[in-house]
Chain A
Amino acid sequence: MARVLLSTLSTFTHKVSPIQLIRTSTAITHAPRYLSTTRGVLSERKYTEKHEWVAVDGKIGTIGITNYAQEALGDIVYIQLPEVGTEFEQMEECGVLESVKAASDLFTPVSGKVTEINSAIEDRPELLNISCYDEGWLFKLELTVPSELDGLMDEAGYENFLQENKE
């Protein structure tokens, strides 16, 4: 569990030095309320093999891409998000992420109707590189087939998947 927490911390604070990281983890153990909130969000996040994540809160899922994906893409220069109100099926193309390397199609990990898009990221695409799990969320949708979540990986499963596929 400590390993999972630390790996999560490293995701949120990937520019922080190891000494600061130790201090932060000590602070976390003394702030159980913050810890439980973070853990609650984490356990809801599910992952696809194509490095998209979805975090569910009731009927609304927030979609983003993982750290592995943002690193592979390189510096993001433009993000084309779907229109609010559009409905998508699972794995349907719903947007484009343009980086200096290529224009990458964005696919939704679950079916649903788009309720909100992250307009901050439209103005500042670099947020996706800096904070892909937090400020760099892409869009939210109302799930139409919640059972699809069962087919996705949880955090541990995704970590394993990354390890297994490491070249």
Chain B
Amino acid sequence: MLSLKKLSTNLVRNYGPLGAVSTSLYGSTSQPSPSRPRATEPPKRVVFISQSTDVFSNLAFEDWLYKNWSFEKRSILFLWRNSPCVVIGRHQNPLVEANIPYLESAGVPVARRGSGGGAVYHDHGNLNCTFFTAKERYDRRQNLELICNVLNHDFGIQARANNRDDIVVGHDNKVSGTAAKLGRTSAYHHCTLLVRTDRQQLRLALQGDKTIQSKATHSVSSGVANLGDIGGKDMTVEKLLASLGRTFLTEQEQDPRLANGFTLINPTDDWFPGLGKIEADLRSVEWIEGKTPRFTISRSVSLPPCLAGTSASANITVQAYHGVVEEVRLEDGLIACEELTDLVLDISTSLKGTPYTPGIFCDISNRIRLPQPLHTQRSFL
């Protein structure tokens, strides 16, 4: 928070209360794209900076803006940072994308965002940028070009956007990942920017369980780099934030007297009625686990001698949808005695509809070892 206060004081001191640079620093303006049907004046640009580092509050504010504001007359750049967390895409499986046991033990939250794309790790060395526009003005490349121009002109870093809309430096080292959400009239495009992120933690946090078979959207992993390693000691998140904000406001050579400057945002329900409910939904099990697409996970379970046939273990598959168990079955192709087949069927019936937890295989294993009459006793749990 201190650094943000310092930042805003500096901005006011250097650029006046409206916080904008009066002359265009870089000499070039973006050409209006010929595909834009509107001949009316371009939307006013506003920069919001979050005062919170809580991922759920920030994601909730993003969603709140997207749902409550119209972007016909203004485009917004929202700049935010989070304490360590993992953010997965709308249709991803947290078990596949993140090292859940490690994150739980470290108290690092996992959040699911509303946009698509893959899983990312955030910490204080990462800057998030969200570009809000009217749906017709949605243009990811344009936003990424703005960022690359800033990196080039202000920090001397040769960055470019690749065909996956990642920003890369050097030999395809990724410094930014992109995702977007399209609604009826509004759209947003957000991306990360790795400045001084702990890459060791990033790697550990994103080591999910890849044995899970799933219809969920998968992350495409890449080698990552920190902009701070390339841009030198002067490259900090604060400086990048200020540069991006400044460039966004002045890019279209707007009359600086009209530019609205940087606005600090406190993403709470007091300031934005309805935000509390959105935040509560984002924290809920129904959202984080409940939006997980159908997946199956198979494990080898050892069998007691009375059930073991040719093999002392069996591959059991659990299928779950939206975080709830749908079926437990034996892996196809296994020749099992009738008793085992019936047993697995009974276990499936009793576990169906219960929330999926990673401990389920331990539970199944225990049930298999029980004497016959107790196989499906719920009280065992």
Classify chain A's interface size: 10 to 19
* Contact flags A77-106 to B (C-beta < 8 A → 1, else 0): 110100000000001000010110111110
A91 to chain B, nearest CB (A): 7
Residues of A120-136 whose CB lies within 8 A of B:
122-123
Contact status of A103 and B180, CB under 8 A, knowing A78-B217, A96-B90, A122-B215: yes
* Contact in complex: B180, A101 (CB < 8 Å): yes
| Residues on A with beta carbons closer than 8 Å to the beta carbon of B187 | 102
Contact status of A96 and B91, CB under 8 A, knowing A78-B217, A103-B114: yes
A89 to chain B, nearest CB (A): 14
Main secondary structure of the interface of B (DSSP, over half): loop
* Contact flags B180-223 to A (C-beta < 8 A → 1, else 0): 11111001010000000000000000000000000111000000
* Contact in complex: B216, A102 (CB < 8 Å): no
Give the distance in Å from the alpha carbon of A156 to the alpha carbon of B89 in the complex: 39
* Contact in complex: B215, A103 (CB < 8 Å): no
* Contact in complex: B183, A105 (CB < 8 Å): yes
B31 to chain A, nearest CB (A): 16
Give the distance in Å from the alpha carbon of A78 to the alpha carbon of B140 in the complex: 20
* Contact in complex: A98, B182 (CB < 8 Å): no
* Contact in complex: B182, A102 (CB < 8 Å): yes
Classify chain B's interface size: 20 to 34
* Contact flags A109-145 to B (C-beta < 8 A → 1, else 0): 0000000000000110000000000000000000000
Q: Is A39 an interface residue (CB 8 A)?
A: no
* Contact in complex: B37, A167 (CB < 8 Å): yes
Give the distance in Å from the alpha carbon of A101 to the alpha carbon of B116 in the complex: 8
* Contact flags A44-79 to B (C-beta < 8 A → 1, else 0): 000000100000000000000000000000000110
A43 to chain B, nearest CB (A): 27
Among A78, A91, A123, point to the contact of B91 (Cβ < 8 A): A78
| Residues on B with beta carbons closer than 8 Å to the beta carbon of A12 | none
Give the distance in Å from the alpha carbon of A123 to the alpha carbon of B216 in the complex: 10
Contact status of A102 and B115, CB under 8 A, knowing A78-B91, A96-B90, A96-B91: yes
Question: In chain A, what residue has the closest Cβ to B187?
Answer: A102
* Contact in complex: B184, A98 (CB < 8 Å): no
Q: Is B30 an interface residue (CB 8 A)?
A: no
Q: Is B35 an interface residue (CB 8 A)?
A: yes
* Contact in complex: A77, B115 (CB < 8 Å): no
| Residues on B with beta carbons closer than 8 Å to the beta carbon of A91 | 184
* Contact flags B30-42 to A (C-beta < 8 A → 1, else 0): 0000010100000
Question: In chain A, what residue has the closest Cβ to B218?
Answer: A77
Give the distance in Å from the alpha carbon of A21 to the alpha carbon of B115 in the complex: 40
Query: What would be 12 A-B contacts, judged by CB atoms less than 8 Å apart?
Result: A78-B91, A78-B216, A80-B291, A80-B293, A98-B90, A99-B116, A102-B179, A102-B181, A103-B90, A103-B116, A103-B180, A165-B37
10 further contact pairs, Cβ within 8 A, besides A91-B184, A103-B116: A78-B217, A98-B90, A98-B116, A99-B116, A102-B180, A102-B181, A102-B182, A103-B114, A107-B184, A122-B215
Give the 9 A-B CB pairs with smallest separation, nearest first. A102-B180, A103-B116, A104-B182, A98-B116, A78-B91, A102-B182, A103-B90, A167-B35, A105-B183
